[in-house]
Amino acid sequence: MTATTATTTESMTKGAELGYKTFTAGKFRFERDEYFAHIAFPGGRHMMPIDAFLRALMRDVAWGFFYGTVNFDAVLGTINHYGTVDLFIGLFNEGFKAAKRVYLETFEAKDLKKVFEEMLADWTNEGFDPFAAPDETGNAYGPKHGSNLKAIKRERIVSKRMVGLPGDLPYRTDAQGQPQNRQFKDVNKDVPEVHAEPGFESEVHAFNMFDYVSRSDVTWNPSVVSNVKDSQICATTEEYILPIFHGNDRVEWFIQICDEIVWDIEDGATGRPRAKVIMKAGDVAAMPADIRHKGYSPKRSILIVWENNDSTLPQRYSSGELTPYPVEF
């Protein structure tokens, strides 16, 4: 038997015949066919189911490569250096490292983002929404048919003051066509009572955060709801599986505010399993800076993700100046 490896020049798929463009970034070459994304790199090739690939790609693009590492699976991923970005094969995989098959290239973040955006746009067919729960979207398979730019170019809505205050965004309601998600029918819709002093009616406001977030039509997409200095509180609705294994470069806090998520925690460098964390409503967890995690939400749930945006942190964790966990018990 002879071992074969794809080079970056020969085609791996019938992607062109199926209507899909091929993309390159440095010596990486990306092709898609009916069911798979194919990734060729010097010395080897890799495959991922196309739906899983597009869901991961969607997050990497929308989050500007996020904090630290976005592992698309146990082999392929990106590391954000906040200006440049590494695209790697096998870097956090013991087998690839032992076999000396790790491959990595560094890009200007804006250049790789452009390739990723174009790939996402070309490879996402009509009817498939990479941000939607699997039960709320069509599938990603088959020859190229149409596109879904509306879904992949979604922008987070930015409020100027506070949602619902005069001059800012209207509060989401059923009447505006933003109903509570089918799995959040149990979420309380009570409106808080506000008793403002006369003259302060346009300054004082409150809304029901559970009701507000329960109208989100995307999954696994933290959106900033409060930004105070480096403290970023991000709410998100979760259903099915987080499409990436996130290897953070800092400690990250999770607050489960309804229902339940099960987290697989693995060692960030090797991928060895470390813990299974079951978070029920009200649970709070600090995810260490040296792990990677993937969450499973059997029923749609609401999670608060708390990130520290201090740009000195990655270096202070990687140098060992800070312990990878926040508290010594």
Q: How far is CA 168 from CA 22, 163, 175, in A?
A: 43, 6, 18
Among 31, 33, 129, 238, binds ligand PHB (CB under 6 A): 238
Q: CA dist 300 to 196, 255, 273, Å? A: 35, 15, 25
- The smaller minimum CB distance to ligand PHB, of residues 73 and 252, is found at 252
Rounded to a whole number of angstroms, the CA Rg of the chain reads 21
User: For ligand PHB, what does the binding mask look like between residues 209 and 228, x meaning CB under 6 A?
Assistant: -----------xxx------
Q: Considering only residues 222-261, where is the footprint of Fe ion by CB under 5 A?
A: 246, 248, 252
236 binds, among Fe ion, ligand PHB, none (CB under 5 to 8 A by kind): ligand PHB
**Residue 283 near residue 235 (C-beta atoms within 8 A):** no
Tokens of 316: 């202070």
Q: Does position 51 bind ligand PHB by CB under 6 A? A: no
Which CA distances in Å does 260 have to 195, 239, 286, 297, 320?
35, 10, 16, 6, 33
The residue count for binding ligand PHB (CB under 6 A) is 10
Q: Specify which residues 105 forms β-bridges with.
A: 87
Binding segment for ligand PHB among 45-53, 120-128, 208-216, 236-244 (CB under 6 A)? 236-244
Question: Considering CB distances under 5 to 8 angstroms, the limit depending on partner class, which of ligand PHB, Fe ion, none binds residue 131?
Answer: none
Cβ of residue 312: shortest distance to ligand PHB, in angstroms? 20
Specify which residues 226 forms β-bridges with: 233
C-beta of 65 vs 220, nearer to ligand PHB: 220
Would you state the structure tokens that stand for residue 167, as one six-digit string? 């001059």
Q: Kindly state whether residue 292 participates in binding Fe ion, applying the rule CB under 5 A.
A: no
Q: Between 28 and 245, name the residue whose CB sits nearer to ligand PHB.
A: 245
- Residue 316 beta carbon to Fe ion: minimum distance, rounded to whole angstroms: 18
71 counts as binding ligand PHB under rule CB under 6 A: no
- Helix, strand and coil percent figures for the chain, each rounded to 5: 15, 30, 50
CA 179 to the chain's CA centroid: 24
Least distance in Å: CB of 234 to ligand PHB?
Answer: 8
CB of 252 to ligand PHB, least distance (A): 6
Quick count: other Cβ atoms within 10 Å of Cβ 103? 18
Which residues bind to ligand PHB, rule: CB under 6 A? 220-222, 236, 238, 242, 246, 252, 303, 305
